[in-house]
Chain A
Amino acid sequence: MPQYAALIYAADVDWSRPEFADVTKEYGAFGEAAAAVIRGGAALYPTGTATTVRVRGGKGGDVVTTDGPYAETKEALTGFYLLECADLDEAVKWAAQLPGAWDGAIEVRPVIDFGSQAG
């Protein structure tokens, strides 16, 4: 069965703070409802905590770190789930139940299965 990453783009805030407890509760409910298809996932601290790493000159070159996210966008990547579904329709159905979809957006991307790639 194909797997999908459901990337949650929402307000760039610290979702662990108590004022977002009701949203956290909604995610908890999603976790229970979708338990059969969830294969992994994580919630992320806001982009203010991000560090972007590049190696100048390619492999073995100088490590350059910059403060902040790789791309500045209005809505930030705030977390993701890994979902195993029969097809895209099922993945979309679950993505629509993520609280992030209600005031942000969920990008659903199929996951490469290197194990089954032949030749």
Chain B
Amino acid sequence: MTDQPARAALVRLVRDEGRRVLATLVRQLGDLPLAEDAVQDATLRALETWPRDGVPEQPRAWLTLTARRRAIDLLRREAVRPGKEALAVVPEDPPPPEVVRDDLLRLIFVCCHPALAHETQVALALRTLCGLSVAEVGQALLVPEETMAKRLTRARQKIAKAAIPYRVPDAHELPDRLRGVLATVYLLFTEGYDPVGEVRPTLVDEAVRLTRLLQELMPGEPSVLGLLALELLTDSRREARRDAAGLPVLLADQDRSRWRKELIEEGVRLVGEGLRRSPGRPDPYVVQAAIAACHALAPTWADTDWSAVVSWYDVLVEVEDTPVVRLNRAAALAERDGPAAGLEAVDAVAGLERYPLRHAARAELLDRLGDRVAARAAYDAALALPQDPAQAAQLRRRRDRTAGPMP
């Protein structure tokens, strides 16, 4: 077991099972840091011994037993609670799957509790739910390990001292809290797949894995189906969204043969299921995924069904009205009805004066209308605003393309 794929599969197995064991141990011990230390120790041992001795027949039972022993050791060392008492609290065998399912959901709602800052939620999700080490979390979020260790310690202290409850929210608060959980997971995804920044595959992959886990835990929940679809459809373009120089490639210019068909197929199927399950008022994630599906299914930019795209944006404005949604709708409108109509729609969107892409959208449409002077001015306005360097480089390139002689 020295080859890379086998090693990666083993790490995956240990992490997946580890988080299930952790979720149960947190409930049994009522102590997140202690449970994390114990499970960390058990997973490290698994990664040491399994390649040599083979993967045990019941990996979860092995991890449960090893983590339990470690927890008891740690408790004895603390000498606060006698180890015997802990022995009684923590059974030797892993609980049945439905109990593990509930434990995992509880853990997810703890890590994504609204009393924790968003960046803390993301860090906890990676550390506790995905089983990354503190150093790996730091690398993934571009934060020094020491800073990340402090942030995670603070978070665990707050969970313990402020008594953030280890429970699945009641039915009446569940929709709100689930929205918070999904926002955190999507933040993790976009953090890794920023349309202009570096692609960080670890984050993208972990976000997709967490969403799949949520889908498994809450089958048929439209917002989860929608988020998973949106992530898969977005991720299907991963290979095509950068040129050889590493600069972002616009959707219109991407080589569609490099889009991953199997992710598109799954995403489109999930959109259908999500729509069936929220027929009256579609979930915003499902609608965003439906728009992504329109692009994913179009053979070329020109052959995109712009009427469908605009209609979905109309629905999205209904269920989630933000200036950025309206701007994107205006851009789709320009493709359907021409640049003049698009420009009018862009100018009708208020509240985006400090958003570079609003000026870039105006520039593009002005250029298409043949007004190069105004187009260049709009690009300059976009470039005058603070933004990611890769995006600025791309905007400069587009501005310089409008520099040719006047027609």
Q: In the complex, A4 Cα to B78 Cα: how many Å?
A: 27
Q: In the complex, A60 Cα to B113 Cα: how many Å?
A: 45
Residue interface bits A70-101, CB-to-B below 8 A is 1, else 0: 00000000000000001111001000000000
Interface size in chain A (residues, C-beta < 8 A): 12
- A110 lies within 8 A of B162 (CB): yes
- A88 lies within 8 A of B165 (CB): yes
- A88 lies within 8 A of B163 (CB): yes
Asked whether B164 is an interface residue with its Cβ less than 8 Å from the other chain, the reply is yes
Where chain B touches its partner, the secondary structure class is loop
B79 CB, min distance to chain A CBs, angstroms? 7
Q: In the complex, A102 Cα to B350 Cα: how many Å?
A: 29
Asked whether A119 is an interface residue with its Cβ less than 8 Å from the other chain, the reply is yes
Q: In the complex, A2 Cα to B158 Cα: how many Å?
A: 13
Collect the chain A residues with CB atoms within 8 Å of residue B113's CB.
Answer: 88
- Asked whether A87 and B164 contact (CB < 8 A) given A118-B80, A119-B79, A119-B80, the answer is yes
- A2 lies within 8 A of B163 (CB): yes
Asked whether B281 is an interface residue with its Cβ less than 8 Å from the other chain, the reply is no
Asked whether B161 is an interface residue with its Cβ less than 8 Å from the other chain, the reply is yes
Q: Which residue, of B162, B164, B169, has the highest number of chain A Cβ atoms within 10 A?
A: B162
Q: In the complex, A82 Cα to B224 Cα: how many Å?
A: 39
Q: In the complex, A4 Cα to B161 Cα: how many Å?
A: 10
Asked whether B115 is an interface residue with its Cβ less than 8 Å from the other chain, the reply is yes
Candidates B78, B80, B163; contact of A87 at CB < 8 Å: B163
Collect the chain B residues with CB atoms within 8 Å of residue A119's CB.
Answer: 78-80
Q: In the complex, A110 Cα to B287 Cα: how many Å?
A: 41
Q: In the complex, A2 Cα to B113 Cα: how many Å?
A: 18
Collect the chain A residues with CB atoms within 8 Å of residue B163's CB.
Answer: 2, 86-88, 110
B111 CB, min distance to chain A CBs, angstroms? 14
B residues 140-173 near A (Cβ < 8 Å) are 161-165, 169
Q: In the complex, A92 Cα to B80 Cα: how many Å?
A: 30
- Asked whether A88 and B115 contact (CB < 8 A) given A110-B162, A110-B163, the answer is yes
Of all chain A residues, the one with the shortest Cβ separation from B161 is A110
Collect the chain A residues with CB atoms within 8 Å of residue B79's CB.
Answer: 119
A residues 97-114 near B (Cβ < 8 Å) are 108-110
Collect the chain B residues with CB atoms within 8 Å of residue A86's CB.
Answer: 163, 165
Q: In the complex, A109 Cα to B164 Cα: how many Å?
A: 12
Q: In the complex, A93 Cα to B79 Cα: how many Å?
A: 36
Q: In the complex, A110 Cα to B165 Cα: how many Å?
A: 13
Collect the chain B residues with CB atoms within 8 Å of residue A88's CB.
Answer: 113, 115, 162-165
Collect the chain A residues with CB atoms within 8 Å of residue B115's CB.
Answer: 88, 92
B117 CB, min distance to chain A CBs, angstroms? 15
Q: In the complex, A119 Cα to B79 Cα: how many Å?
A: 9
Residue interface bits B68-82, CB-to-A below 8 A is 1, else 0: 000000000011100
Q: Which residue, of B78, B79, B113, B165, has the highest number of chain A Cβ atoms within 10 A?
A: B165
Q: In the complex, A118 Cα to B80 Cα: how many Å?
A: 7
Kindly list 10 other residue pairs between chains A and B, CB separation below 8 angstroms, not including A87-B165, A89-B169, A118-B80.
Answer: A4-B162, A86-B165, A88-B113, A88-B162, A88-B163, A89-B164, A89-B165, A108-B162, A110-B161, A119-B79
B contact residues vs A (CB 8 Å cutoff):
78-80, 113, 115, 161-165, 169
- CB-defined A-B contacts under 8 Å, sample of 10: A2-B162, A4-B162, A86-B163, A88-B113, A88-B164, A89-B165, A109-B162, A110-B161, A118-B80, A119-B79
